[in-house]
Structure 1
Amino acid sequence: MNTFTTEADFTLQPEENVISDVIGLSESRPDIILFNKPEGSGWVDVTAADFVAEAYELARGIAAQGVEPGDRVVILSESRYEWTLVDFAILAAGAVTVPIYPSSSEHQIQWILEDSGAKLVFVESAEHARAVDNVLKAAGEASSVARVVTFDGGGVEEIKADGSGVDKSEIGNRVAAITHDSLASIVYTSGTTGRPKGVSLTHLNWYHEARALLATSIVGSIGDPVGKHAVTFLPLAHVLQRAVTFTLMIAGATQSHWSDTSTITTEFQRAHPALLLGVPRVFEKVRSAAYNQAADSSEVAKKVFLAAERAAIDYSRAQDTDKGPGLVLTLKNKLFDKLVYSKVKAAMGGEVLVAISGGSAISPDLLHFFRGMGVSIYEGYGLTETTAAACVNDVGNCRIGTVGRPVRGYTVRVSEEGELEIAGDGVAKEYWNNPEATASSMKDGWFSTGDFGEIDNDGFVRITGRKKDLIVTAGGKNVSPGPLEEVLTSNALLSNAIVVGDGRPFVGLLVTIDEDEFKRWKQKNGIAAEKTVADLREDVKLRAAVQEAVDKANQTVSKAEEIKKFRILERDLSEEDDEVTPTMKIKRNVVVDHFSAEIEKLYQR
């Protein structure tokens, strides 16, 4: 099949958008708890009425800074209540939100401020403020930024105070003037090559995505969203997290924010979320933490966990067969739920009903493990240009190993070259200030994704590789590194895997070692704690551990595509060295350049 459409079962009126929906909710159900935010030593609830009132007050303050409809306003911050509050206020003021990842370098900040022509900048901390100030000093009079506002320094309250002289009707008039074609946001892709491109997303793009996600059975499966909790912990600069945040606001669910993923289980156990949104690494770490706890306890506990994991995977796989799980698998599942699964679910808050994974591919075995223990993770697919999810597996329509079927209102097709192309109201029409990129990727309403894929007869989409990453060996074999790298990084010890071999006689591999798992590995193998990866990269035991992951990956490909040799890098990849994007996607060309000597060693005879 070359084309598949999932028709929208909803209509979007010209005057409707995310802002109008939340305002309507605040009027019809003012006491609904939309947010739960930290205050002092505890947490306080924010009702829909209180949130909109505060956002309007802030919007008046933004207008008082000289920000007119269509002007750009930057947010540079970790995910927190103020991020969403400021975002809503910017949009209510008719302006355009420009997110910047909190981990961005000064060079990246400089480019986005310059390219967007931002008038106002909101930052989280003094450190962020210094970075922006350095950029502004270097730009001098060429900068369009009039003011930098710091969350931690009480800047939001100062902006609110500035708005006291702006008539209350001004914001209402600006909201009423928003159309579907009004620009809502410029989201800069973290691009693995070249400068980030600003994707122009309209109010229609965001509203369609939110309504499409609401129409999925994933959201429906948690029942009435009102009173249900979700924890926002991915960066709100990421299009997927922001799209889900808008969706939850419209639905009336309660959200809290948490930026430290290393302590995320603390918030899970406090908030008891019903829905989780994460990237594969989050779910991998949940599984690894459970395994490590069992392995540290005793050899028996370790064996019980591994048996429970195998049983969960088998139970889940059996659900996809005509016969379903038999009596033996069902009894095993009940037994292991008491011994193992219940503890994993408790670490996630104990009330998770469904989860969504996006951002990159996730291991099918990991999906089966979670589904088998009673927490289904639904994998989806999309890009900034599609306003997040364009495809997603859904309750009752889930095929593990695919990224699901098109979300309502989206059409997906495969070009003659095998590239996935997407159309629909959630698809951006242009890049900001970049007509060349627009002409290259956006034609006649279709966006060329740069990903190779397939669509089966039921409309399920499978990603088979990245167009720009395709490796052609000296023997003429085409190798897509993505599937191999996905299997490799499912091993907790490996933080990154970079498959190489373009123009070379065979496929090779560079790997980096996860810092936390490396500590555990050394302790387990009786190796001194002070030993570094650089010290041990040729160690027989460490290489054997990596070889185990390589052997597993090689089982998924043909002989010609197998990894023949690998090198362990002395250090991990870093955003500071421009080797990964803020969403941890590998910049393959940069890595190949930085580690060219290591690659040459792979092919020395």
Structure 2
Amino acid sequence: MDNNGYLSYVEHALKNYRQLNAFSDFQGESITYNQVGERILGLHQLYKELGIEKGDKIALIGRNMTSWAVVYLGTITYGAVIVPILPDFNSSDIHHIVNHSESKLLFSTDLLFDKLDETKMNGLLGIVSINQCISLVDNSNGKLAEKVINLQPLFKGDGKNFNPEKLDFPEIDAEAVMVLSYTSGTSGFSKGVLLPHRSIWSNIKYAQEHLILKPEERVVSFLPLAHAYGCLFEFLWPFTMGCHITFLTRTPSPQIITEAFRKVKPHLILSVPLILEKIFKKRVQPQLEEPKVKALLKIPGLNKIVFNKVRNKLTEVFGGEFREIIIGGAALNKDVEQFLRKIGFPFTIGYGMTECGPLISYAPWTESRTYSAGALVDRMSIKIDSKDPYNEVGEILVKGDNTLLGYYKNEEATEEIFDKDGWLHTGDLGVIDEQNFIYIKGRSKNMLLGPSGQNIYPEEIETTINSMNYVQECLVRDNDGKLEALIYPDYEATDAEKLTKKQIEEKLQAIKVAANKLLPAYMNISKVTLFPEEFEKTPKKSIKRYKYTK
């Protein structure tokens, strides 16, 4: 199966799981692996008739849905390069990505098409609706519209006529580009990450060897598919295992996500910290604050009964049948992590970046370590850029099969991320232990210097403040040599208590006093400022810090 990388895994799935359900849109229709195969062959025919060649770029934008996944698979198995675009990008960013990537076609959902201006994307053969399978814009004198219409029977077919023997995926070099990913970073408009087939294949192989999913088991896909984390672990890998993937199809609020978990009952869950923290804060924390529960928690033996009840309730919130929740994308609140470990909740924290397709470290929940981001995966090497990697914080450097080729049309950025010895500079700061478990302290570009030259990681201060009542989220920044915390209040809590703005301000000042008691003196906050709206975030739900630094 290893002869043709990831495409071999796709071919194996299409041949061995033919009658099983492959994809469903939440509260919508389902299609089998046979139907997926039929549509993939149809897309290959379309590309061939349009003169699309191996290595050509195909752009794809839309929320998580069945037709998005089909276009993705149909493109990479043809040998073309997929350019997934986050639906949250504004119009000018989408136009820029399509043009910069030199995409030949753009597949879009009807809803997102409304915010596009085709006159600003002159290199396209046209734009195709993935909802209706029709041409929305045709720059090929009617050829695109005609060929796309011919696809409709396949995209509405039952898959009974699919013959897996007709699958004839091209031989692809391991170093050939499979994905050109433009992700929104926390420091401005991102670069185009060139991920080769080798990187995706390596990530999939690791998942098959170390994570557990079986044919017919269920996964809910709600993380952005245009981002490497969700795409690989909620879609590409489960597909190779014969799993049934349900796409959320809408903006993933905690309420909608928990509804999907309750109905689908997934066997494995991926999440970002913000989702888990919000569910914990709304569903668990209020119960722990009740006087009777507080009293029980102080009594050995009885506290275990409380812990069991909380664990069971939280397990039910996530559908009740999952083996593990994998957290990635950002740091988990330390208080939340401590409590979840105390009650024996099956979660683990991984670490990665788009440039590694995305995986760098992971450990199953039974082997995970408090405050760690998992152990280095077995196809990568690691180095901490410090004199004592076990105790002294330094930049995390990695190399191995998962890494990118470079940045598209950006030699300067490529030279910056790789040093002369081939080490990839992650930009993250941390330490490791003797078993290569990674402990992340923050981003190197976010680090601030204390009054006596101490290294201050704003993420550590934010974790302390975020755990406090009346705080929805916060951002710590340098303000003329002093630390300032911008706090967006938990207005649901303040509204419930009918607090005035003045009273909210008083609560924030009390938070500053409480936080400073818990922090080292050099990390003390000098000023707290009420921030009126949620901070703008990346798809991984990390705050875009560059927008709020002075």
The TM-score bracket by the shorter chain reads 0.7 to 0.9
TM-score by length of 1: 0.79
| 2:262 corresponds to 1:269 | yes
Partner of 1:261: helix, strand, or coil? coil
| 2:19 corresponds to 1:31 | yes
Partner of 2:179: helix, strand, or coil? strand
1:287 to 272, 280, 291: 280
Residue 498 of structure 2 corresponds to 526
Residue 75 of structure 2 corresponds to 90
Residue 407 of structure 2 corresponds to 431
Identical counterparts, % of pairs: 23
Structure 2: state its 5+ residue gaps: 137-144, 155-162, 388-393
- 1:379-528 to 2 correspondences below 5 Å: 379-416=349-386, 418-443=394-419, 444-473=421-450, 475-491=452-468, 493-501=470-478, 504=481, 506-513=482-489, 517-523=490-496, 525-527=497-499
Q: Provide closer, same or farther for how the CA distance between residues 362 and 430 of structure 1 changes in structure 2, counting only shifts above 3 A.
A: same
Q: Provide closer, same or farther for how the CA distance between residues 293 and 563 of structure 1 changes in structure 2, counting only shifts above 3 A.
A: closer
Partner of 1:74: helix, strand, or coil? strand
2:541 to 562, 579, 584: 584
Residue 174 of structure 2 corresponds to 180
Report the CA distance between 1:457 and its aligned residue. 1.7
1:254 to 239, 244, 247: 244
CA–CA distance in 1 between the matches of 2:31 and 2:188? 41
| 2:190 corresponds to 1:201 | no
| 2:546 corresponds to 1:566 | no
Q: CA RMSD in A?
A: 3.0
Structure 1 letter corresponding to 2:113: A
TM-score by length of 2: 0.87
CA–CA distance in 2 between the matches of 1:492 and 1:185? 42
Report the CA distance between 1:32 and its aligned residue. 3.2
1:146 to 125, 143, 146: 125
Residue 337 of structure 1 corresponds to 308
Structure 1 letter corresponding to 2:239: M
CA–CA distance in 2 between the matches of 1:552 and 1:92? 56
Structure 2 letter corresponding to 1:402: S
Structure 2 letter corresponding to 1:569: F
Q: Provide closer, same or farther for how the CA distance between residues 472 and 502 of structure 1 changes in structure 2, counting only shifts above 3 A.
A: farther
Residue 5 of structure 1 corresponds to none
Report the CA distance between 1:491 and its aligned residue. 4.5
CA–CA distance in 2 between the matches of 1:199 and 1:391? 20
CA–CA distance in 1 between the matches of 2:455 and 2:31? 54
Q: Provide closer, same or farther for how the CA distance between residues 246 and 169 of structure 1 changes in structure 2, counting only shifts above 3 A.
A: closer
CA–CA distance in 2 between the matches of 1:543 and 1:250? 53
Residue 546 of structure 1 corresponds to 508
Report the CA distance between 1:172 and its aligned residue. 4.5
CA–CA distance in 1 between the matches of 2:104 and 2:428? 35
Partner of 2:115: helix, strand, or coil? helix
Show CA shifts across 1:289-327 (max 9, x none). 2147759xxxxx83456678x68xxxxxxxxxxxxxxxx
Q: How many residues align?
A: 522
Structure 1: state its 5+ residue gaps: 1-11, 296-300, 312-327, 575-579, 594-605
Q: Which structure shows the higher helix fraction?
A: 1
| 2:87 corresponds to 1:117 | no
CA–CA distance in 1 between the matches of 2:202 and 2:28? 32
Structure 2 letter corresponding to 1:369: F
| 2:114 corresponds to 1:130 | yes
Report the CA distance between 1:590 and its aligned residue. 2.2
- 1:366-381 to 2 correspondences below 5 Å: 366-381=336-351
CA–CA distance in 1 between the matches of 2:32 and 2:513? 53
CA–CA distance in 2 between the matches of 1:227 and 1:116? 37
8 Å contact 2:126–2:135 — kept in the other structure?
Answer: no
8 Å contact 1:19–1:88 — kept in the other structure?
Answer: no
